[in-house]
Structure 1
Amino acid sequence: MLFDTHVHLNARQFKDDRDETIKRAFQAGVKYMVVVGFDHETIPIAIEIAEQYETIYAAVGWHPVDAIHYSKECLAWIEELSAHKKVVAIGEMGLDYHWDTSPKKVQQEVFREQIRLAKRLQMPIIIHNREATEDIITILQEEKAEEVGGIMHCYSDRVEYVPAFLKMNFYISLGGPVTFKNAKAPKEVAAAVPLDRLLIETDAPYLAPHPFRGKRNEPAHVQLVAEQIAHLRNMDYHELSKITTNNALSLFNIKQ
């Protein structure tokens, strides 16, 4: 029983075969998924998918790449949708200093506003971090994000930063890169994160694991992520699957 904690089934890449993709995931043992919406286009589709499937849930937030298009109306909309019974988190949110699409100060303010919203709603947050770790940590600390905690989604940074996030009540989620042969950092993180703070994901359609690297990812492939982490930790695959699933159910406050 697997839980893909971060998937974009609402992406255009799944437009023509979404139901078949979901069926393959269920057949591969993926019982739960959280579909993450991050802008005007993807948020409604995330909720629509969650409404159609009993064990699929949604997260709603505003992506830092699109921070330049954010407004107070967006925040009000996210707050309204957060009341939906299938919405279990706010995000993804955060900072992305790789793509030069939104000024850093704009990203930071949009990030802070969403953390404050999540704290008012008492909902966990999903963090997107690309080349912005120091600023991410500073903002999470200043905004006291540990009050709600959440997920460091598709963690790609050095293992040395992990304790700072654990201290702030965050789970570390790993995806396809942990299976890449030359990916030293994710493998170190996979071996080091306490089991009670570990999650798995695909981020599909992105970051497909080996041997599908470079192709469209899909939630069924989260099994390969779990297998690799179990191997790195020298533990039973089924035990790893059970622990990460229970971690996600607890974080998202999902009753089985």
Structure 2
Amino acid sequence: MTKHKSWRKVYDSHTHLNDTPFFDDVPAFIARANHYGVVEMNIVGSNCLLNDRAVELGHCYPSLHPVIGWHPEDLATFNAEEEAHLLAQLKDPLVVGVGEIGLDYYNDEHSPHKLQWALFEKQLAWARQLHLPVSIHCRDALADAYAILRDAHVAEFGGVMHSFNGSPAWAEKFMNLGMAISFSGVASFKNATDVHAAVQVVPLDRMMVETDAPYLTPKPFRGKQNEPAFTKFVVDAVAELKQVAAEKVAYQTYHNARSLFLKKDEQDD
């Protein structure tokens, strides 16, 4: 395959143009992203407001793809009414995935682990029923997330470990479940040694790139607000770590994201 030599389309597999820093100026952020070659984005929700906005943006902009679900940090606001609303939204044909869902043990005072597990398992069951891939948030909970995804047979509907920050060994374990691994701006951080090592072991055909904007701004913009345009610099960081052409990273990660979330490949362009 030689197409990547002059090919630089980029897919931001996880970003938040539905969040407050962006929502009132979405066209400007899309234009800036397009300038850097970022032409497709997953707009990821986590609660009622951000899910509603993700779906709204998906209906307004063809290059923005809603991924909606209930984040473990928002567990306290999840109830029967919100569940019914989310289930109805997930049946919207423009919704391409369930996310971000998973486990977060970093600040879990109001999200007991057992309740997180139940919500995670419920949303994985919906993903199976609706044939939608999942975008997984996992913070300080790799072992439990792995066990739940394994028991859910995630390979049968597909998914990605969003902003992966574990070791190479954990990357291998999740790939063995059939998961893709997505890297954020953390791949550009000088001291992120586990992430650097994971980038080096994850094959390009199992990898995605993302910003998680407005968070995790990559070099050379650390300290500033992140945005989808900066996916270009995540691509560059991955390319440097893997010692391959940035165009090759862009090409393969774009293809991987389109294949999982849009059920398309490069021949559909």
TM-score bracket for the superposition, by shorter chain length: over 0.9
1:150 to 2:159 alignment: yes
Q: State the TM-score, normalized to the length of structure 2.
A: 0.92
Q: State the TM-score, normalized to the length of structure 1.
A: 0.96
1:244 to 2:253 alignment: yes
Question: Structure 1 residue aligned with 2:142, among 96, 114, 133?
Answer: 133
Residue number in structure 2 paired with 1:19: 27
Percent of matched pairs sharing the same residue: 38
What amino acid maps onto 1:249 in structure 2?
R
Question: Structure 1 residue aligned with 2:15, among 7, 18, 21?
Answer: 7
1:187 to 2:196 alignment: yes
Count matched residues: 256
What amino acid maps onto 1:18 in structure 2?
V
Residue number in structure 2 paired with 1:197: 206
Hey, what's the Cα distance between the residues in 2 that align with 1:92 and 1:72? 19
Contact 1:122 1:148 in 2 (8 A): yes
What amino acid maps onto 2:63 in structure 1?
T
Q: Which stretch of the first structure deviates more once superposed, 79-88 or 226-235?
A: 79-88
What amino acid maps onto 2:185 in structure 1?
G
Hey, what's the Cα distance between the residues in 1 that align with 2:71 and 2:262? 23
Residue number in structure 2 paired with 1:53: 61
Residue number in structure 2 paired with 1:94: 102
What amino acid maps onto 2:184 in structure 1?
G
What amino acid maps onto 1:136 in structure 2?
A
Contact 1:68 1:106 in 2 (8 A): no
Stretches of structure 1 that go unaligned for 5 or more consecutive residues are none
Hey, what's the Cα distance between the residues in 1 that align with 2:250 and 2:141? 30
Q: Which stretch of the first structure deviates more once superposed, 241-250 or 68-77?
A: 68-77
Hey, what's the Cα distance between the residues in 2 that align with 1:235 and 1:142? 36
Offset at residue 254 of structure 1 (A): 4.1
Contact 1:149 1:168 in 2 (8 A): no
Offset at residue 54 of structure 1 (A): 1.4
Residue number in structure 2 paired with 1:103: 112
Residue by residue over 1:118-149, the C-alpha shift from the partner in whole angstroms, topping out at 9 and shown as x without a partner, is: 01111101100000001101111122222212
Contact 1:68 1:103 in 2 (8 A): no
